[in-house]
Amino acid sequence: MSRTAASVWKNCLVFIKDNITPQAYETWFEPIKAVKLNNDCLSIQIPSKFFYEWLEEHYVKLLKTALRKELGQKAKLTYIIEMENTYGSKKPFTEKIPSSQREKIGQQDVSFPSKEKSTQLKNPFVIPGIRNLKIDSQLNANYNFDNFLEGESNRLARSAGNAVSNKPGGTSFNPLLIYGGVGLGKTHLAHAIGVAVKEKYPDKTVLYISTDKFTQQYIESVKNNTRNDFIHFYQVIDVLIVDDIQLLSGKSGTQDVFFHIFNHLHQNGKQVVLTSDKSPIEMQDIEQRLLSRFKWGLSAELQKPDYQTRFLIIKNKLYRDGVEMNDEIIDYVARNIQSNIRELEGAIISLIAHSSFTKGEVDLALAKKIVENHVKNIKKELSVRDIQDSVSDYFQMDIDTLQSKTRKRHIVQARQIAMYFSKQLTKSSLASIGKQIGDRDHATVLHACKTVNNLKQTDKQFKKFVEDINKKLIS
């Protein structure tokens, strides 16, 4: 009896069914249809790309074993992904999944018809400036390469950004992840890439969006039962720029949807640009499968600018504003404000404003006064670790004790205070805070914050603890 695709797949299913739970079998294998058998290559049809990714992530070894039992060691597997085109046409289409993105059972050999552009694409959510098919890139044209000065601290990131803007999706810098501390120019560089792409490739669809706004849109799509439209909308973008990607931390649903959008864009040669205040290895509560994709391209760090770069930034800022200033003053400001570019420009704006209000000349004495006041007002960016160190020091206990599982009252209260200030003074999510303070969950952190707020109202001694630590942290 000759083998057919159906008979081979039926035998595979017998083996698979014996090795997984009934619910998993019903969910992930019953919907699959055997389509074609060509020598040692079996083609199966699956409902969606999400379905494909789930099989690859959870069942690829099981599939490999089952197929090789039937077809031998040279067995190959081809996926045909049938998706409903929600843009108007209801005809199914197939998509090729590049073998470079999966653990291979065998080489893929899938052909697919060319996709016709639909005229019925609808915006699945509201982005200010988007009307009908016209997508406003949400870019700030003032943030461009011309006013992003190059120095040792940013040379790699700027060069990579330039390469991406010249050939979006066509370099090895995909994704390009730009990371660094506050005020070092991450958002500026991200916009500059998008602006340059639009200048060189007017027909390309470019979209800049913050992670917070992306998350809000996703939540709305779930509420309105338009999740598929949300995904498909982002899949038409040629260059997607997402700012502050570290804010996906602890948001499992948003991470999941971004994972599938990212995969589609990457597989179809589209460019992804991300910014973060942390490198991928430092990101907390982001799934490994997503972090691994962040590392596919290039992670370029923006560091604090050196003296020469700071000097040039001030000169450039003054030139653009039509203001003349003595080099001695510029030198003083550049040497004494070293934190980041944002603070540097802020000090210059203060100098110019002070001069115009008093109608006085900007001299070195005024510069010293402004810089001294400005430096005093620069708030240190606290981390969850900084807060734990301060709380532990105040209560005279080590970090291990603070993070321990003990239920001793004074240790529990110290831990709760650390969680409370971590929520108040950092951008970390509840899940990330809990993870860093003894591997707790977000509900524990939320409970700690409520407890601290309540005790401040009812316990005078506890209130003093909180006030003392607060002074210590913000001083």
**Do 242 and 209 meet the contact criterion of CB atoms below 8 Å apart?**
yes
pLDDT tens digits for range 30-80: 889 899 898 888 889 887 766 777 787 778 888 888 888 888 888 888 888
Task: Say which residue, 58 or 141, is predicted with more confidence.
Answer: 141
**149-190 per-position pLDDT tens digit:** 777 778 888 888 989 999 998 888 889 999 887 767 888 999
**Beta strands 176-180; 298-302: pairing state:** parallel
For position 413, what pLDDT does the model report? 93
d(CA 219, CA 128): 17
**Distance (Å) of CA 166 to CA 155, 157, 237, 245, 264:** 17, 14, 17, 23, 22
Q: Which two tokens stand for residue 436?
A: 């860093």
Two structure tokens written together for 27: 């969910």
Backbone φ and ψ for 407, nearest 5 degrees, come out as: -105, 15
Predicted pLDDT of residue 114: 30
Q: What rounded mean pLDDT belongs to the chain?
A: 78
pLDDT at 274 exceeding the cut of 90: yes
Q: How many helices (H) and strands (E) does the chain have?
A: 20, 8
Kindly tell me if the per-residue pLDDT of 239 is higher than 90: yes
Q: How many residues does the chain have?
A: 475
pLDDT in tens, 293-304: 888 888 888 877
pLDDT at 329 over 50: yes
The two three-digit tokens of residue 79, written as one number: 């996926």
Given strand 76-81, what is the order of strands in its sheet?
Answer: 33-38, 41-46, 76-81
**pLDDT above 60: residue 106:** no
Question: Which domains does the chain carry?
Answer: 5-101 (3.30.300.180), 155-302 (3.40.50.300), 307-377 (1.10.8.60), 384-474 (1.10.1750.10)
Asked if 257 contacts 229 with a C-beta cutoff of 8 angstroms, the reply is: no
Check: CB of residue 436 under 8 Å from CB of residue 385.
yes
Q: What integer pLDDT is reported at residue 437 of this predicted model?
A: 94
Contact 70, 36 (CB under 8 A): no
Q: What is the average per-residue pLDDT within 208-235?
A: 87
What integer is the mean pLDDT of 326-354?
73
C-alpha span between 397 and 391 (Å, rounded): 9
Q: How many CB atoms within 10 Å of residue 30?
A: 10
What's the predicted TM-score (pTM) here?
A: 0.50
148 strand-pairing partners: none
Q: How far apart are CA 228 and CA 218, in angstroms?
A: 10
Q: Which of 93-107, 203-217, 243-257 has the lowest mean pLDDT?
A: 93-107
Taking a C-beta distance cutoff of 8 angstroms, is the pair 167, 196 a contact? Answer: no
What number is the average pLDDT over the span 342-366? 68
For 109, phi and psi rounded to 5 degrees?
A: -150, 70
Q: Residue 297: CA atoms inside 13 Å, Cβ hemisphere, count?
A: 29
How far apart are alpha carbons 81 and 33 in whole angstroms? 11
Alpha carbon separation from 234 to 112, 287, 372, 380, 390 (Å, rounded): 21, 20, 47, 37, 43
CA 188/CA 274 separation, integer angstroms? 12
d(CA 170, CA 266): 11
Inform me whether the pLDDT recorded for 273 exceeds 90: yes
Q: Helix, strand or coil for residue 5?
A: helix
Give percent of the chain with pLDDT exceeding 90.
Answer: 19
Closest CA to 214 of 198, 200, 231: 231
Which has more confidence, 341 or 424? 424
Q: Which comes out higher in pLDDT, residue 140 or 110?
A: 140
Whole-number pLDDT of residue 145: 87
Residue type, 200: K
pLDDT for 374: 60
Q: How many CB atoms lie within 10 A of CB 87?
A: 18
The model's confidence at residue 403, banded by pLDDT at 50, 70 and 90, is very high
pLDDT (mean) for 387-401 = 90
